[in-house]
C-alpha cells in the first residue's frame, strides 16, 4: 500500500493565476483578473500544495528558458570583456552589460536558480513542518 497524496487538478482560475504571477503581477492584480478575493490568491500561494508545486514547477521552466537565452550571450559578453582588457573598446556600458550577463548566468556572483518543491506531496510536508515549528516557537515564548 502506498502513502501517495492525491493531487487535485488546478482550476482554470488557478492556472490563470499562475500565468499572471509569473508575469510579476501582485496578489491583488491576480485576484481582480481571475475573479477571486486577494486572500484566496494568498491562500493558494502559501497553503495550497498543488498550487505551490505547480507554480514552482512553472517558475523553473521559465527560468530554464531564460537561462538558455542568457547562455547564448555568454560568448559575446566574454568578447566584450576581452576587447576592454586589450584596450580595443572604450565603451564602459558594453563592459557593464557583459558583467551583468555573466552575473545572470551564474559565472559571476550569486546563483539565482529558483528553489522550491515541485511535488504537491513535498510542499504539503513542508507546510506541515512549518506549522509545527511555528507552534513550537509559540509555546517556547
pLDDT in tens, the chain (141 residues): 444 445 678 999 999 999 999 999 999 999 999 999 999 999 999 999 999 999 999 998 888 888 888 888 888 887 877 776 666 655 676 777 777 777 767 667 666 677 888 888 888 888 888 888 888 888 887
CA distances from 126 to 6, 18, 26, 129, 130 (A): 16, 20, 24, 5, 6
Q: What's the CA gap between 44 and 4, in Å, rounded? A: 21
CA quadruple 127, 110, 98, 67: dihedral sign: negative
Spell out the residues 6+ positions from residue 130 whose beta carbon is closer than 8 angstroms to its own. Answer: none
Q: What DSSP character marks residue 37?
A: -
The pTM score is 0.59
Amino acid at each position: 500500500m502506498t502513502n501517495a497524496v492525491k493531487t487535485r487538478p488546478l482550476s482554470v482560475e488557478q492556472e490563470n493565476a499562475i500565468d499572471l504571477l509569473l508575469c510579476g503581477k501582485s496578489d491583488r492584480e491576480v485576484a481582480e483578473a481571475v475573479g477571486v478575493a486577494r486572500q484566496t490568491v494568498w491562500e493558494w500561494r502559501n497553503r495550497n500544495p498543488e498550487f505551490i508545486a505547480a507554480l514552482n514547477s512553472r517558475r523553473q521552466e521559465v527560468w530554464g528558458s531564460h537561462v538558455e537565452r542568457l547562455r547564448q550571450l555568454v560568448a559575446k559578453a566574454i568578447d566584450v570583456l576581452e576587447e576592454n582588457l586589450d584596450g580595443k573598446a572604450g565603451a564602459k556600458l558594453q563592459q557593464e552589460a557583459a558583467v551583468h550577463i555573466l552575473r545572470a548566468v551564474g559565472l559571476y556572483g550569486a546563483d539565482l536558480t529558483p528553489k522550491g518543491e515541485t511535488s504537491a506531496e513535498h510542499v504539503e510536508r513542508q507546510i506541515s513542518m512549518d506549522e509545527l515549528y511555528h507552534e513550537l516557537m509559540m509555546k517556547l515564548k
